[in-house]
Structure 1
Amino acid sequence: MHSFHRYAAAVVTVACLVAPAIAQERANKEEATTMANAAFEHIKKVGTEKAYKDFTTDKAAWTKKDLYVMVYDSKGVALAHGGNDKLVGKDMSAVKDPNGKPVIGGLLQKATSGGGWYDYDWPDPISKKMMGKSTYAIKQPNGEGFIGVGIYR
């Protein structure tokens, strides 16, 4: 029985040490806004083809904490996705969160109406649980579609 208590104590200790480390990996709205604006400037500087490839594959430059860049066209097709490269080229226009709220359509609408934050629920890649997410969406430099960077709330 003593070994069980030691094991349980060890598990609790590890959980207490790991949980704050995970929490520290969460980004905030300012960091997300900064990354979205940097992505906008990167597209202007290197062009869409190179920028989209960079956002999707260059994790060292375009993934910070739990942030990544996603870019969609005006029809809801993923042009770049730092969180899941398998989405690139897919039409995501019909995707809704568990509450029926349109995700890509809502982000596109937010970007085309001046940009800003859009809230919805999305699976957290760390905990795998459904969580509130806020994504900062702005129009691309060419006015086509949007650039988005989101945080978990």
Structure 2
Amino acid sequence: MKRNPVPGLALALAALLAGPTAQAQNATKDDAVAMVKKGVAFIKASGAAKGYAAITAKDPQFVKSDLYLVVYGMDGKCLAHGANEKQVGRDLIELKDIDGKPFVKERVELGKSKPNGFWQDYKFTNPATKKIEPKQMYCERLAETLVCGGIYK
């Protein structure tokens, strides 16, 4: 008796297609809030220099799928960046997204008025897809800095 290979092939194809999707699952809002809180606690416990270095070095505790941390001074200077170390040390206050929104300036203003945490919407390049996508950034103020982590929608 001959067996029909189609069901087995279909199952193998479904597993193959499901694998990358499961691995590439975007981070959630809860993930972003938890990671920002972890970053704030780490910086408080270890000091700014060690904390910023760990974030910029992509320490695994500060990276999850498409989620990473960034730290800005209240003047818009990038102090740590978990996706692009070339941004560290740069004054990004005038940086705008694809729609012309000055998102760093807005972030600093929100940080001054909402020191206990806030969400911000803008568009940014997703490091996983390399495409500009809508992003939501959660930030908390720590002294004269903002520790932030964002999710892509």
The one-letter code sitting in structure 1 at the alignment partner of 2:22 is A
Contact 1:69–1:147 (Cα < 8 Å) also in 2: yes
Percent sequence identity over matched residues?
35
The Cα shift of 1:127 comes to 2.0
- Alignment match, 1:123: 125
The Cα shift of 1:61 comes to 2.1
The Cα shift of 1:19 comes to 5.1
TM-score, normalised relative to structure 2: 0.82
- SS of the residue 1:36 aligns to: helix
- SS of the residue 1:112 aligns to: helix
Contact 1:55–1:80 (Cα < 8 Å) also in 2: yes
- Alignment match, 2:3: none
Unaligned runs of 5+ in 2: 1-12
The one-letter code sitting in structure 2 at the alignment partner of 1:122 is F
Q: Give, in whole Å, the separation in 2 of the partners of 1:112 and 1:22.
A: 37
- Alignment match, 2:8: none
- Which segment drifts farther, 100-109 or 75-84? 100-109
- SS of the residue 1:121 aligns to: strand
The Cα shift of 1:133 comes to 0.2
The one-letter code sitting in structure 2 at the alignment partner of 1:125 is P
The one-letter code sitting in structure 2 at the alignment partner of 1:93 is I
- Alignment match, 1:60: 60
Question: How many residue pairs align between the two structures?
Answer: 140
Which stretches of structure 1, 4 residues or more, deviate above 4 A after TM superposition?
A: 12-15
- Alignment match, 1:21: 22
- Alignment match, 1:84: 84
Q: Give, in whole Å, the separation in 1 of the partners of 2:39 and 2:136.
A: 18
Q: Give, in whole Å, the separation in 1 of the partners of 2:33 and 2:62.
A: 13
Q: Give, in whole Å, the separation in 1 of the partners of 2:93 and 2:131.
A: 23
CA RMSD of aligned residues (A): 2.0
The one-letter code sitting in structure 2 at the alignment partner of 1:86 is K
Q: Give, in whole Å, the separation in 2 of the partners of 1:96 and 1:14.
A: 41
The Cα shift of 1:112 comes to 2.0
**CA-to-aligned-CA distance 1:11-47 (integer Å, 9 cap, x gap):** x9798345523542x1000010011111111111111
The one-letter code sitting in structure 2 at the alignment partner of 1:81 is H
